[in-house]
Amino acid sequence: MKIICVGRNYRAHAAELKNEVPKEPVLFLKPQTSIPIKGQPFFYPDFSNDIHYEVEVVVRIKKVGKHIAPEFAHKYYDELSLGIDFTARDIQAECKKKGLPWDKAKAFDGSSPVGKFVSKEKFKDMQSIDFQLFQNGEKKQDGNSKDMIFSIDELISYISGFFTLKIGDLIYTGTPEGVGAVQKGDRLEAVLGGEKVLAIDIR
């Protein structure tokens, strides 16, 4: 099982990090070990002093596919959730400056908690999915999939041109604006279409 993440998929978030709006999806991978063991908190890693949350809609792939046309992409998933793409922003800034890969900043142990999956039937339109992230009860990110630069189906199609998608693979579809730092003792909660699907403590 692999995790494919999309970077800079919302204009306002690209702008807040002073990145260009991409002409094609920005992809990176995370290993299975980036998903914390069920029920465990997020352990703040000692190699960073600037861990940020990024809440993202997560799609779970339900059948094997390669070179999937956008019009058939909807047949490859039927469940969604929210995940957090934890990012060591200090390490990432260093990597970007040197033109090096981001892996240390993004793919470390426990960096990709994912919530409870819900059927996509719950949503009338994949391009109108509301989601929020709360930090200690305060709303920090408020997104809607309509603001994605590349839609879920376009992403599945694009990704499958490079990586064969397999059952259980997860796609993190990018974060809206409002990313910020976490501290030990924080609690993050994520709400998808009005339903709380994820809660995680930072230790």
Which parts of this chain interact with Mg ion (CB under 5 A)? 54, 85, 175
C-beta of 26: minimal distance to Mg ion in Å?
Answer: 9
Provide, rounded to whole angstroms, the least separation between the CB of residue 64 and Mg ion.
Answer: 25
Distance CA 72, CA 51 (A): 37
Kindly tell me which of 4 and 165 has the beta carbon lying closer to Mg ion. Answer: 4
- Identify whether the C-beta of residue 156 lies closer than 8 Å to the C-beta of residue 163: no
Closer of 8 and 60 to Mg ion (Cβ):
8
Q: What distance in Å separates the CA atoms of residue 199 and residue 172, rounded to the nearest whole number?
A: 17
CB of 69 to Mg ion, least distance (A): 26
The one-letter amino acid code at 90 reads D
**Whole-number minimum distance, CB 85 to Mg ion, in Å?**
3
Q: Write the DSSP assignment of 138-178 as a string of letters.
A: EEEEEEEGGGBSS-HHHHHHHHHTTS-B-TT-EEE----S-
Smaller CB separation from Mg ion, 19 or 183: 19
In the complex with Mg ion, which residue's Cβ is closer, 54 or 153?
A: 54
Between CA 171 and CA 52 the distance in angstroms is 19
Count of alpha carbons within 13 angstroms of residue 35, beta-carbon side: 19
Position of minimal CB gap to Mg ion:
85
Q: What CA–CA distance (Å, rounded) separates 67 from 150?
A: 17
Using the minimum distance from each CB to Mg ion, give the nearer residue, 107 or 202: 107
Q: How far is the CB of 84 from Mg ion (least distance, A)?
A: 9
